[in-house]
Structure 1
């Protein structure tokens, strides 16, 4: 029984999705799209939810870039498609994206160009060599700037320090269960 409990607790800690909940998105001051490595090809699933406070639909052009702490970057120049009713108010849209392989995704930026002031709620990314991660926006994207999160050096990102913390939790839980 103890072994099953230990396995379940360890699995919950190791495979819990990451969330960027405590930070607010920022304008990217020195974001560079020209540095894209080509380390294999991976598939990603990106789910973008649009706020119920957003316009009914948007004519804005929406671009996306995300990546890891090692410079692996995935760039999608256009996600929007008004003929397909993408980014409507109170909706979620899923995109299958192929791009260079990345390790744990720790940053995401959206770029909006247009008159409608589209408001995303969340951006969820999974695939590649990364555990699923959710970035909470809940605010309008400024026009003509890259806007989002860079948690690559933040303690809540799953870079090396976060992996160490999870590993320590696993060890502590295992020791506690052995003592019971």
Structure 2
């Protein structure tokens, strides 16, 4: 084989190995919110934990009820057990969670790493259909959770993307390292 052809074959083989390894590590993500009857608010005393501020924007769907008098609570956190909980963010006297509206809350809780789960809890008879929930924190990237469904009563309802979260970030770092080595290897062969 000619040296140039051998380099091309080597490049194709290495790229194929890299692509097949990367595609085998993909994981499915649930796109719709799910009930979590086993979810518990973290009752661990976190007095020594650093307190951080989070901004939470909740948009209510235009197909929701005109306004709700239901009690709404929220909990979110990271893959390492840091959890923020805010009971009763509703306030019917100020028309919170009115149809086609957006409400912003400043919530304080323990500092977190990247937020990867969020649950809403609704108690009452009016019903409520949130469109989306966006969370902004000092130490985390902004994250959005798209509901656009009616939140059932008396159960924590939402998203949990934490399963494999830390492992996937390690895989991402490993993939970047492999890619860097691959580029270095190709540059040596090519020149």
**TM-score grouping bracket, smaller chain normalisation:** 0.7 to 0.9
**Aligned Cα root-mean-square deviation (Å):** 2.6
**With CA pairs under 8 Å and 6+ residues apart, which has the higher RCO, 1 or 2?**
1
Unaligned runs of 5+ in 2: 1-28
Match of 2:105 in 1: 95
SS of structure 2 residue aligned to 1:47:
strand
2:41 matched to which residue of 1?
A: 33
Moved over 2 A (4+): 34-38, 159-173
Please name the residue that 2:128 is paired with. Answer: 118
- CA distance 1:129–1:35, change in 2 (3 Å): farther
Report if the CA contact (8 A) 2:116-2:161 is conserved.
yes
| TM-score (structure 1 length as normaliser) | 0.76
More helix by share: 2
- The equivalent of 2:65 in structure 1 is 55
Count of aligned pairs: 157
- Give 1:64-103 correspondences, 5 Å limit: 64-103=74-113
Larger radius of gyration: 2
1:105-144 alignment, distance < 5 Å: 105-144=115-154
Aligned to 2:169, the other structure's residue is in SS state helix
Q: Unpaired runs of 5+ in structure 1? A: 1-20
1:33 deviates by: 1.2
